[in-house]
Structure 1
Amino acid sequence: MNSESEAVSHVDTNKATEDNFRLLIEGITDYAIFLLDPSGYITTWNAGAARIKQYAADEIIGKHFSTFYSAEAKAAEYPAYELQEALKQGHFEDEGWRLRKDGTAFWANVVITPIYNQARELIGFAKITRDLSERKKAEDDLLKAFDEVKENEERFRQLVEGVADYAIFMLDPVGNITTWNEGARKLNGYEAHEIIGKYFAKFYSREAVEQGFPAYELQQAKQNGRFEDEGWRYRKDGSAFWANTVLTAIYDSQKQLLGFSKITRDLTERKKLEQQLYWTNQELKENEERSRLLIDSVKDYAILMLSPDGIVSSWNVGAERIKGYKAAEIIGKHFSTFYPREAIESGFPQYELRKALDQGHFEDEGWRLRKDGTAFWANVVITPIHNPARELIGFAKVTRDLTERRRNEDLMRKNNELLKINNELDNFVYAASHDLKSPIINLEGLLAALKEDLGPEGEHHSEVLTRMDGAITILKKVVSDLGDVARLQQSNGETESINLPDLLAEVTGNISELIAASNAEIIADFSGFKSLTYSRKNLRSILFNLVSNAIKYAHPQRRPQVRVKTHLASTGLYCLSVADNGLGITSNQTSKIFSLFKRAHDHVEGSGIGLYLVKKILDNSGDSIVVDSVPDKGSVFSICFKQKAS
C-alpha cells in the first residue's frame, strides 16, 4: 500500500514539474522555443515564437518548420539538412535569414537539438530561435563604415598622388621622406624610388643645411603644429626655385607624432615679378620726376598708387581718361569709389588688397564705374609696394578698359549661336524640300485614282475633292519654296544687269489671275533707277513675293493698290520699295514675319516661307530689307542694295 502511494506521489510530482516547465517555456517572449516531431512538423508553440514569427499556435502547429525558410533554402533542402546535422552532431546551430508570417525577413540564430526517450528512440527535436536583426544591422553598418573609410583613404591617396601643381609628400618623425606624389616629381625632379627614404634636407642649400634650418623647420612644426616659409630650394639637376613650403605635424589619436606632411609650391615666376617690380620701384625712386612724367603720359592704362589703406595717392592721364575724374577730385578718396554698390557691400575692394598682400599681386576682371555712373569692363592688377626694409608703403594699381573686347566677345558668342541655329534650320529645309516630294506625288496619284474609282459619283463629293486638290497644290508650293531656300545655301546665282520695268512686267504677268480676281492696281515709279546688277532669278523671287503678298493681304473694304518705286539713298545705296494699302502688320509682328513659317495673318492661304526666302536672299548678298507698317493702313517693304546700277 505504501509503495502504491509513493508511485502515485512520484507521478504527480513529475506532472507538476512538467506543467511548470511548460508554463515557463510558454511565457518566454525573447526566444521562439518549440518542438518538432521526427519529420520536422511543429507540435508546440510558445509566446516568443508567436512574437518573433507572427503565427498564432493554431495557425502553425501541424505545419512543417520549413515554412520559415526562403524558397531558395527550400529548393536546396536546407531544412532537412539542419535536422540531419542535428542528429549527426547531437545539435545544430546556425545564423541566417528566416521569414515571418508577413513575408518580412529577420536574421535568426537557430539551435536544433534532437530529443530521445528513455529507450534512446528519437521522439522529435527542440528548436530555439533568437531574432538577431538589430545585431546584424549594427554589424553591417560597421562593415559598411569600414569599407567607406578604406575607400576614402584610397581616394585621398589617389587625389594627392595625382596633384601636379604642388609637391605633396610625407616625412617620418625624423624627416625622412616616406611618400612622393606627381607634383613632387615634377617640381623637384626626383623619381619616387630615388628619394623615398632620404632626408628632406636634399632640397636645401649647403648653407641652410649647415645652419640646421631643415631641423629647425621640423622643430617649429612640432612645437606649433605647422610651419610656413618661403625661400630658395634646389632640384635634382641643381637649379634653384623660389618655394612656398608648409610643414604640418601629424599625430595619432594618442597624440603620438606619426610624422609630417609637407606641401611645396613653386613661386619662382611670382618672385621674379616681385623682384622686377622692386627694381622698377628703385629706379623710379632714383628718378622720380622722369617716372612720373612717363606714367602721366600713358593714356591707355589707368596707373595709380594707393596707400596701404587703399586711398588714392597718385593719378595719371590714362586714369583720368578711363575713369573720368580729375586728379584733384579723386586723390585722397578710397579706391572703392570705382566699384558698384554690391561689390562695396561685400567687401570686395578690401579683399583685393588682402589677396595682393598674400600672393604678391592680384589680378581680376569685372565691372567698374566712371565718374558719370557708366560702367566699363576692367582688367585690374594690384601689386603691393615695399621699401628696402620690406615694409608695405602702398599698392600699384593698373587698370585697362576692356569694354570693347568684352562687347566683341559677347557679339561673337551670339553670332556663333545664331550661325549654329541657321545651319540647323538650313539642314532641315534642305531635307524637307527633298523628302516631301515623293509623298506629294503619291498623294496626287492616289487622289487621281480616287476620282477615277468614284466616276460619276465623284460629283457628289466635288467640294471635298476640290479641297483636297487645293491642299495638295499648297503643299507643292511649300515644298517648291523650301527647295528655293535650300538652293540658296549653295549659291547666290550669277549676276547680270536687270531691267526693272521688264522684270516687274514678267512678275505681274505670272500673277495676272490674282491681279484680275482682286482688281488690284499696280503703280510703278522707276525714276530713281531702272536697272540693277543682281541675280535675275533671286530678284524676280523678291519682287514676286512682295507684290503677290501685297495683293493677297489686301484690305476687304478697298481696292488693292501696290506701288513699286526706286530711289537713290544719300548713303549711295540703291533702294527699292513695295508699298500697299492693305491690312498692315502690328508692331509686335514686324520682327517675326521674316522667320520661317511665320505669318502676320492666318485667314489668307500661304506657306510662311516667302518673306523668309526674301530675307535669306538679301542676307546672302549682303543687302537689307525693313518693313514699316500701320495696321488697317498698309505696309512699306524697303530693300537697299549695295550693288551699283548699270
Structure 2
Amino acid sequence: MAAGGEATRPTIVVVDDASEVRALVRTRLRLSGLLDVVGEGGDGAEAVEVVRALRPALVLLDVSMPVMDGLEALPRILEVSPDTQVVMYSGFQEEGLAHRAIELGASAFLEKSTDLDALAGDLVRLLEARDAPSATRVGPAMVVDGDGERRVLREHLERFREVFEDAAIGMATVTLAGQIVRANRSLGAILDRSVDELVGAAYATFAGTASGALDRMLAAILSGEEPVGQVEHDVVGSVAPRRVVATFAPVLDSGRRPLYLFVQVQDVTVQRGAEEELRRSEVGFRLLVDNVEDYAILMLSPEGLIESWNAGAQRIKGYTEDEIIGRHFRVFYPPDVQESGHPERELEIALRDGHYEEEGWRVRKDGSRFWATVLITAVHDRDGQHVGFAKVTRDVTRRREQEEALRASEERFRLLVEAVSDYAIFMLSPEGLIASWNAGAQRSKGYAADEIIGRHFRTFYPPELQEARHPEHELELAIRDGSYEEEGWRVRKDGSRFWANVVITAVRDPRGRLVGFAKVTRDITERKVMLEERDAAAAALTAANAQLQQASEDQAHFLAVTAHELRTPVSVLGGTADLLISHWTELDDVEREDLLVGMGASASRLRRLLDDLLTASRLQSSRLELEHGPVDVGQVVTECVATQRRTHPDVVIEAGVEGAVDVMGDAGRLGQVVDNLVNNALLHGAPPVRVTARGDGDDVVVEVQDSGGGVPPETQARLFDRFSTGRARGGTGLGLFIVRQLARAHGGDASYRPADGDLPGAFVVRLPRTGAPAPDDAS
C-alpha cells in the first residue's frame, strides 16, 4: 500500500489477520491525524516483508495469526528494521504474555479492549518516550464509538478471560500458529514447566516426534476440515517419562473464522502404562494357554459352542482346531450322559454358582474313554454381561487306576498298621474322635482299644494345651495344608508325660471330601534327652572355644604390643648411648642434657612396663604381697598427679581431694593404681584429665575422668580383663587389669561408670576407709 498523509506524521504498519479489524484501526488512526498508515499485513510473514520494504516508525502487531503469529514475527521484524518500534495488539488479557512480548523486544502490549479514540495518542506517546527504560502496558478500557466498532472489537477479545486455574487438567490458549499465550497451573505441572516459561513458547516444542502430527492437525482445524483435533505425545524435557493427550478446539468469530485455539491437556501416563501392561499380560496369558499340553483349556459360547482350542485339548481329546471349533461341547460326553442333558445342566449350574466342577468319563475322537476332572467357570465382561464359559479338563485316568489299586491294598495296609508296635497309628473322625487303635498306640499311650475309641484325641495333650485348643488347631492346619507335623509333650493314661513326634494327615475320598485324619505318634523322649545333653555339651564347648580363642588373640596382641612398648625405649636408650659415646665432645651442654633426659624418660617407661608385668604375674599366681599401713589417699593422688605433670608438661592434669581419705593399704601399690588410671586416660582419652579423691560413707572413692568420648559399650564388658586393649592406640592390656586386682587386694573394687546426662563417664576405685568393717565382717 502506498504511503499517505503528511510527511511529518510518524508512519505505521497495521498487522492483523482480520481484514475488518485492520480497516477499523486504519480508519481510526487516519482520522486522528497523528499517524500515517503506510502498510498492512494479514500474518507475521507478510508483516516482516512489509516492514523490510517500508521501515516504518511503528508496527501495530496482532498476536494470534495463522502461518506465523505475532510472537514469532516480532524478533524478525526488529532484525530487518531495528529502529522500528513494535506494539503488540491482542485480545488476550494475560500478564505473562505481555512480559513475554516485552522480553522479545516489543515496546508495549495493548489489549484490543483499549479505547480506539485514545489509541493514536498512546502510540505517539510511545514514540516520544522511545528512550524510556521500559515499555508500558495499556489497560483494558472499553470505550468504542458505534455499534459496528463495538461488535468487531468484542469478537476479537479473548472469549475465555478467566481460565479455571484450579482445573485438574491442563488448559491453555494458543495462537493460530501454535504458541502458548495463557496457561494454567495444571498445565505447568503436566509439562514440568512454570506458567511463565510456557507463555510465548510453541506447544510443538513439548511434543517431540509428534510435532509433525501436531502441525497437520492444526492445519486441518484452521482449514475447517476438522472441528477439533487431538494428538497424543510424550512430554519433551519432563523429569519423569510422561504421556499426555492434547485436545485443540478453535474459538471462532461471528464469521466462523478461528480467532485462536483452546487446548486441554490430560496426563495419561498411568493409563497408558496400565494398558500396555494389560496387553503384555494378555499376550503372555494367551501364549501360556496355547502351549499347555497337560490341560484342555477352551472357551465356550453362552450356548456351549467351542470357540477356542489349545494344544492340551488336541492332545487329550484328539480333535484338531479345524475339526472342533463351532461344535457343541456335548460331543465329549458318553451317549447316555448326552441323552440325559447333563452337559447343559453343567452350564446352568456354572452360570448360577459361578463355576461347576466334577469328575467323570469323557470320550475322545477315536471313541476311547478317559476319566477326567472338569472345571467350568462362567465368564462375564466388565459390565457383568455373560459372554461364555471357560472350561478346563484334565485326563486323570492313570490317577484313578492308581486310586483303585490303592484301595485294593488298603486292607493289607490295615493289617500291617495294627501289627506295628513302635508307632501309635490311628484314625480320627473329621471332628477329632478316635476311630481306630493299633498295638503301638496301646503300648505308648497305655489305653486299650475299648477304653479310647470314640473319645476325642485331646485326651493325650497336657491341660494347658487343651485349654488353648491346640489339638483343634492342629486339625485346622492339617485340613488347610494337607498335613501337620510337630514335636511336643503328650500324656499317657497314668498321667506321665513323654516327648512325641506327631504327624497328622488329612484323609479325603476320591471326590476330595474330608473323611478324617491319619495320626502317627512316636515316643522320642530318649532321643530328646540325648539331643539336649548333646546341645548343652556343644554349647559349653563353643563357649570354651570362644574363651580360648579370645585368650589366644589377647595374648598374641599383648606380645605384639609389649614388643612395641619395649622397642621404643630400648631404641632410644641404645641410640642415645651410641650418640653420646661417639660424639660427646661435639655436643654442647644443652644437647647432652636433652639426650640424658630422654634416656631417663625411656628408662622410666621400661621400669613402669616391667613393674606392670611383674605385678600382673604376681597377681596371676597369687604371690603379690602388700605392705599394709595407714595411707593418705589424697597424698597419693597429689604426688601421682605431680609426677605425671612433670612427665607430660604439655597436658593439663588436675587433682582434687575432699576431706579425710585415709585407708589401710600399700601406698606404693595404690600409687600404681592411680598412675595406671592416669596413663590409661592419656593413652585412650583426651585432656584435660581430672583425678579426685573423696569420702563416700565407709568408702574412699577415687575417680579419674578425661574429656574423651568415653568407652564404647561393646568394650565395657572386657575392660578390666587381662590383655584387653580394645585394639586402640597401643597399651599392653595390663593397666586396668592391675588396677582392679590391686583394688580387690585392698578389699575394694574398680569399675567404669558410663556417662549419664550431665554426669561424665569415669573410672572409679572404691577402697574401705580406715576403721570401716572389713567385707567379711560387714553386716
TM-score range, shorter chain: 0.3 to 0.5
Structure with greater contact order relative to length (CA < 8 Å, sep ≥ 6): 1
Given the two structures, how large is their TM-score scaled by the length of structure 1? 0.45
Computing the radius of gyration over CA atoms, which structure comes out larger, 1 or 2? 2
